[in-house]
Amino acid sequence: NQLMGDLNKASKWCLEQSSVLLGSVQLPKVLCMEDEDLDEAMDKLQKAEFSEDRIVALEPFSFIFTEMKDMNLFLEHVVDVMNLKVFCLTETERNA
């Protein structure tokens, strides 16, 4: 699955760059889910019709950063350079 491949590559980037990051990053929960839970999360994401449902459905697939600067650096490298499709947010956005 393309999405999981991209999430794995992006996670590897985070681990390799951890010394450069100012804060911490929570990797997507789907990366350590059992197959059954992963299938359920994928199903929920595909069936999400409204933006509120989609936001909730995307959380297990999202990288969550404590620092906005880290998220920007991540996006510059992972999306712009590596051409991966990822989802991310900051702690403040998550708690809003």
The reported pLDDT for the residue numbered 9 is 98
- Cβ–Cβ under 8 Å, residues 22 and 67: yes
Instruction: Report angle CA 60, 66, 69 to the nearest 5 degrees.
Output: 115
pTM: 0.90
Indicate the domain borders of the chain.
Answer: 2-95
User: Alpha-carbon torsion 14, 91, 41, 75, what sign?
Assistant: negative
For residue 78, pLDDT beyond 70: yes
Q: What is the pLDDT of residues 6-44, one digit of tens each?
A: 999 999 999 999 999 999 999 999 999 999 999 999 999
Please tell me what DSSP assigns to residue 75. Answer: H
